Structure 1
Amino acid sequence: MEISASAFLTNINLQVIDVLIVILCLSAILFYCYSIYSAVVTFGESHIYAPNFYPPITILKPICGLDRDIYENLATFCRQEYSTYQIIFSVRSPQDPGIDVVKQIIQDFPRLDIQLIVCDRIIGTNLKVSNLANALSFAKYEILVIADSDIRVGEDYLQRVVQPLHNKNVGVVTCLYRSVAPGWVEKLEAVGTACDFHAGAITSKQLEGMKFALGSTIVIRQEVLKAIGGFEAIADYLADDFQLGYLTAKVGYKVMLSDYIVEHVLFANTLIDSIQHQVRWLR
């Protein structure tokens, strides 16, 4: 039985495609096997705590618009079991709807040292970084904690995340996060974060060490921030959180991944919103 040349070539092409698919599948399997190994190593690491190390802290909270459950998110930072800390909320526009939420926070927690800064000064193309820079001028303490307004934490958060800084060689502490996903669109996004982003972050840590930070939490000393050029050094980067960790490692400090897991409250009304989030993160 004769086989035409075109049929023979088609058969060869299908075999090549099959081989490529097998290679891709095996590559993915190997990656996730190594990711699981990296996670076991990461979460199996022992963390040394200094029982008397509870330095005063300034929390910087850039605000832009209204995240889902923003009041409750912000309020968790006001319920910390920590002796001395300051919270600075910074907003660019006097018409920002987040201002009313912050004013309610200030009213509900009158004993806390809370300030609201409204300033439209711009130091670069990343407006969030400008927000942080405007707040920094009012920081009273050496240690800064930076966390986005869609992050929610427990009462022991400050106690835990500050601990690695008792080692003077540590310049930045950062945290992984657990997604809070109310709707089906957010659940899809949460699965992607857990299976893709977290796997990549933990694998990178295992392969070359922590040379990046995550926006869910960044703990940094002011002296380290000055050493990397201040917020001005990252004002034109979209991935400002990555740069804070990368530049810190570049000047010789360690970046530590805390054993504390914060919560990230997802907010995507539609599938298009979720896709836009993913495109921004990929950029």
Structure 2
Amino acid sequence: MTKVVTFPSPGGPVPSKARAPALATFKQVDKVFANEVTALTGLDLEIRTGEFLALLGPSGCGKSTVLRLLTGLAEPTRGEIVWGCERPQFGFVFQEPTLTPWSDVFTNVWLPLRLAGVSKHEARTRIEEALAQVGLSGFAKAYPRQLSGGMKMRVSIARALVTRPSVLLMDEPFAALDEITRLKLNDDLADLQASLSATVVFVTHSVFESVYLADRIVVMAARPGRAFAEINVEAPPIRREGFRLTATYADTCRRTSNALHEAMGEAAPSELME
């Protein structure tokens, strides 16, 4: 059984979301694929209702596999996932926008509702609402070739939101974007999650992104994938650019970076400087 090291927030009360009821709990979950690759071993992980949970770790540590297990696209080889309620409605945002180039923005966002048998006319209000949530109200008739990378990702997020999910799963959605666009979308996602009160499980390789967005970070170790450390982030309920300039942000980034290096079997950067 992997021991999870917990790093509490420095000073101040425990964040209220840390006391929220469990949405789903992984209990000693293993996942071995047909090619005998072990993606996860002994994973103990609790996902709490309404929180923003970041899964941080190197490639091959099973972060994306956790998302697939949550949605039911994959099943545990051993162990179990216990739900605190009925399995919720999921929205999924992938690393690439995966938009159909021959369809306009409106039609791309309609896709999951169309697959569910909802007509374009019936879906109109929900599509317009989703586009407004991501700041694309004026782009319904635009085609993907006319959009920037950041705008394409907004369309992908709108497509996930149009089903009105209670849980939003995001698999490195901003990894391919330039830094300026990525920071802007970080701000927009933080605002969106606060307004929706949805649970977000966010996969990332970025220490800085995880600390800026998350209420809680689970650092994962690879080969085989497992939870290594858990870090609570003490921050304002709605993040703003100024949070990145605070001592709390810097300290949490340091602790998270140290935990990530330790999870990969490397010396922590702070130790190398001593």
- Report the TM range for the smaller structure's normalisation: under 0.3
Greater strand proportion: 2
- TM-score normalised according to structure 2 size: 0.27
Larger Cα-atom Rg: 1
Q: TM-score by structure 1 length?
A: 0.27
